[in-house]
Amino acid sequence: MGPLVPYGIISSEFDLIIALIIGVLFGAVLEQAGFGSSRKLAGVFYGYDFVVLRVFFTAAVTAMVGLILGNHFGIIDMNLVFINPTFLWSTLVGGVIMGFGFVIGGFCPGTSLAGAATGKIDAMFFLGGILLGILLFAESYPLFENLHNASALGPIKIYDTLGISQGLFAFLLIVMAIAAFAITQRIENKINGIQQVKQSVLKGNGIAAAVLVLLGVVVLFIPAERNNKGSIPAAEEISALLNDNSRFIDTDELAFKLMHKEFAPVLADIRTAEEYNYFSLPGAVHIPLDEITAPRWRAFFNDKEEVILYSNAGVLTEDAYVLLYQSGIKNIRILEGGLNTFFEQIFAADNAALTPTSPAYKPLMDKYQFRIKAAKFFQGIENSAKPSVVAPVKPKIIAVEGGC
C-alpha cells in the first residue's frame, strides 16, 4: 500500500484488508476486460488480439512514472520499496516454462484465478496445474536448488545494468510502448481484416501518444535521487567523509562521559535485538541498522545535539553513518572500534608493559587507573538499565514485499 504502512499511517493488519478489497476489484476489472477468456489471452500469440501486451505496457509505464514522481516529491521512499532479487538462470528457465504454459493453456497465474472465479472450466484445470507444479517443485527442491539459486545478481535495476540513467531508461520504455501500441494495432487490423480505422480512434490514439511523450520528457530530466547519491562528486564526498577521523569517539572519552551524567551522550545501538537485550551501554536506544533511515527515527536524530552510534565492531556503524549522512543527518559520531574495543580496553586492561623507568609511565598509568575505575563503574550497572532517552512511540517500520 505505497507508503501507508512504512510511514505508520495504517497498520499491517488493515493493509491486508485493503489488499483483499483491491484484489477483488482487480479480478473484476480483469474479467470485464476479457482476461478471463483463454481465447482472448492467447490472441497475442496468433496476432488477432494484443490487448494483453498493451495492458502490460500500460501497467509498467504507469507504475514506473508513479514511482519516479513519488520518489522525487517525497511521497514514496524508494529505500522502502522491495525489489525482487534476480536469479538469472531460474528466471530464464521459469520464463520459458511460463511462456509455454501461456500458449498451451491460454492463461497466466493471475488471469487463471479470474477465469476460475467466474466458473470457466479450462481456467480451473490451469489453476490445478499451477498448484500441482508448486507441490512437485517443493517436494523435489533439492534437485533444483543449484539451478534455483544460480547466478544470483541481487536486487538489480535494468538501467544500472545497461549503464544509463533512470530517466533515460524511463523515456526509452515509454517510446517503446508507443511503438508497440502502433505496430500491434496494425497487425491486429490486418489479421482481423479491418481496412479503415475511424478518425476519432486515430485522434484519440494521437492524443494518448502525445501525453505519453510528454511524461517521458518529464521523467527524463528528473534525477534518480534528489541528493544525487550515485554521482562521482557524491562518491568523492563520501570518501572524504570516511577519511575524517573527527567522526570517532574513543573508548576513554565515551566511558568518561557515561560516568558523569552531566556529559551523558545520546547512544544508538544498531545491533540485533538479541544482542541489545543481552548487553547494552547505559542509556542506549535500540535502532536496528535496517531501520536507521526510517521516518520515525528522523525526529529522534534531528532533535539531538549529537548521537553516538555503536555496534560490536566498526563496519556496521560506518554503513549506518553513511546512510544517515546521505539522509541529511550530520550530528553523528561513531564509537571507534565498537563494543569489541570498548570491552578490550575497559574490562581487559593490561599494564604489564608499564614500568616506572618508562617515559610513558605516568600518562599510561593514569589511563590504566581510569580504565580500572571505569570497569568497576560499568560492572556495577545492570545490563537491563532503561535508556535515558525515550525512543519514539510509533509503529515499527515494516519492509513491504510483493510481486506478481
Pick from 177-186, 323-332, 335-344: least confident:
323-332
Residue written as cell 614500568? 355
**pLDDT tens-digit readout, 102-145:** 888 888 888 888 888 888 899 999 999 999 999 999 999 999 99
Q: Is residue 312 predicted with pLDDT exceeding 60?
A: yes
Domain for residue 385, yes or no? no
Domain for residue 226, yes or no? no
| Pair 176, 287 in one domain | no
Arithmetic mean of pLDDT, 331-345: 87
Range of the domain at 374: 232-379
Total domains in the fold of the chain: 2
Q: How far apart are CA 386 and CA 396, in angstroms?
A: 19
**Is-above-0.75 flag for pTM?**
no
Would you state the pLDDT for residue 254? 86
Residue written as cell 497465474? 109
**CA-closest candidate to residue 188, choices 43, 56, 58, 30:** 43
Cα–Cα–Cα angle for 82, 83, 86, rounded to 5 degrees: 145
Whether 107 and 121 have beta carbons less than 8 Å apart is answered as: no
Beta-bridge partner residues of 286: 269
pLDDT band, residue 173 (cuts 50/70/90): very high
| Pair 252, 201 in one domain | no
pLDDT band, residue 183 (cuts 50/70/90): very high
Domain for residue 201, yes or no? yes
Domain for residue 395, yes or no? no
Q: How far apart are CA 315 and CA 285, in angstroms?
A: 19
C-alpha distances (whole Å) from 14 to each of 9, 19, 75, 299, 302 are: 10, 9, 20, 26, 30
Whether 211 and 299 have beta carbons less than 8 Å apart is answered as: no
Beta-bridge partner residues of 333: 308
**pLDDT tens-digit readout, 273-282:** 888 888 888 8
Domain for residue 402, yes or no? no
| Pair 289, 199 in one domain | no
Burial of 13 (C-beta count, 10 Å sphere; 0-12/13-18/19+): exposed
Q: Give the CATH number of the domain where residue 286 resides.
A: 3.40.250.10
Pick from 14-28, 36-50, 390-404: least confident:
390-404
Q: Where are the beta strands (DSSP E) in 78-165?
A: 86-87, 152-154
Would you state the pLDDT for residue 124? 93
